[in-house]
Copies of this chain bind each other. A is one copy, B any other.
Amino acid sequence: MNGENFGASERLVDAAYVRQGAQGRRAHELRLRALLEQGKCPEDGWNESTIELFLHELAIMDSNNFLGNCGVGEREGRVASGLVARRHYRLIHGIGRSGDISAVQPKAAGSSLLNKLTNCIVLDIIKQSGVRTATSCFVVPMATGMSLTLCFLTLRHKRPKAKYIIWPRIDKKSCFKSMITAGFEPVVIENSLEGDELRTDLKAVEAKIQELGADNVLCLHSTTSCFAPRVPDRLEELAVICANHDIPHIVNNAYGVQSSKCMHLIQQGARLGRIDAFVQSLDKNFMVPVGGAVIAGFNDSFIQKISKMYPGRASASPSLDVLITLLSLGANGYRHLLKERKEMFSYLSTELKKLADVYNERLLDTPHNPISLAVSLEKLDERSNTAVTQLGSMLFTRQVSGARVVPLGSLQNVNNYTFKGFMSHANDYPCAYLNAAAAIGMGKQDVDLFLKRLDKCLKTFRKEKTQEKDVPETENFTMDSEIGKENGN
């Protein structure tokens, strides 16, 4: 409703009331304006009404929603199913253009605005979450792994000679694959055991660079967020090494935005040394559906180069999800979620420790890991060589999701590379263990239910010991042992 329409309304409804209605509209418009002008996440969240109005406004700026449009191209944003059109708020043209995923589309001013604004808001949140000097980022509708691949592919053009990527080991297939897919040879640096923790072996990194020759190294590929007892890589030192050897440095910060520690490491790394880009998952940090990542960095032109590597237009769906989410939370709401996560981590940690004591197990001491915890399963493992895997299956069938049991000595071949002790980030970690994490959005109820169910499962084993012949809930064990092990992978 514009001024003329409000005027016309006064024929039907008293002018005083219409005027107040117009004033009501104005308040929504002012919110939009602040967003458009500042390009920042609003401090307070918007309600659904404002968000939907906003999306509607964006949609009618796209040519497929023009009342008088005629389309004679091969891609006109036509949609066959009303269900589909509605769930995308009729924003059909995706993001980007043939040659640049961050580019503006002439046919779709609204979708283009959405894309730009999303990138602005996400950058704002990244800065507020600790990487204050980040200058540029963009949302890409691909997995974190595939986004890392895109970074590596971009670097290839800068370093045509390079074949290797130096990579402190982390046992997650997609991390390893991101390098393989890009066509490089990962050079695995085994972690060093310090107390219970697995930490970056800086000397090995340095030695490897020298051995291979800096020019032959495409980049260093480090990791922040990971399962305990591995802890975030020593980013500061690694960044300095990269700076010294003039080697690019790409950080896998998969679910690190939610942790001030991980973000601080990146900020420090960039300040003291070199970080070219850091990549994070949308779903793991912003509570949206799986499907997108953010590639961020400190140098506009390099980040732009990456965005220009994506050939073709892309799905706007992940951008839309994160835009809606951040607008509805507001910066305030997001901070609140981060604070709650921290508290939940501390609660989970305390309670897990108590439970571990009961069963003569140990909460592993991993103070550098701000998200994931590990409890030893030594006693359980001693019982039988399948007990650990059985525990995994039992938790799965009891609707505990995300808990991960790690038995000793798993071998795993990934793209012709054999990992010993797979899942434990080390060839010979001293004991089997169970992982649990306190990730963003977790509630106290999750922790309590988990502990109760875990307790019950462990009790079954203890009972089993006494009565030897009682096999606990055998039916569950027929399940694919994969479930037990990889549940959280």
Contacts and interface: CB of A to CB of B under 8 A. Distances in A.
Interface in A146-180: 146, 148-150, 153, 156-157, 172-178, 180
A76 B141 CA distance: 19
A73 B488 contact: yes
A48 B446 contact: no
Contact of A21 (B56, B62, B94, B153): B62
A144 B486 contact: no
A469 interface: no
A394 to B, nearest CB: 13
A208 to B, nearest CB: 22
B324 A84 contact: yes
Given A67-B28, A99-B177, A78 B402 contact: no
Contact of A61 (B21, B56, B91, B399): B21
A1 to B, nearest CB: 5
Contact of A314 (B142, B321, B479): B142
B60 A479 contact: no
B290 A80 contact: no
Interface string A440-470: 1110011101100100000000000000000
A379 interface: no
Interface stretch (A112-120, A192-200, A232-240): A112-120
Interface string A465-489: 0000000000000011011001111
A176 B174 CA distance: 27
Nearest to A66: B24
Interface centre among A23, A51, A67, A291 (most CB of B within 10 A): A291
A309 B149 CA distance: 10
A284 interface: yes
A402 B73 contact: yes
A119 to B, nearest CB: 10
Contacts of A487: 73, 106-107
Interface centre among A107, A325, A486 (most CB of B within 10 A): A107
A314 B254 CA distance: 14
Nearest to A29: B2
B289 A1 contact: no
Contacts of A97: 489
Given A289-B92, A311-B145, A324 B24 contact: no
A68 B371 CA distance: 23
28 contacts: A9-B36, A12-B39, A17-B104, A20-B61, A20-B396, A21-B109, A27-B67, A74-B254, A75-B255, A76-B401, A76-B441, A76-B442, A79-B287, A80-B325, A80-B333, A83-B324, A84-B288, A92-B289, A99-B414, A141-B141, A141-B291, A143-B311, A174-B312, A175-B311, A177-B312, A289-B316, A315-B317, A317-B318
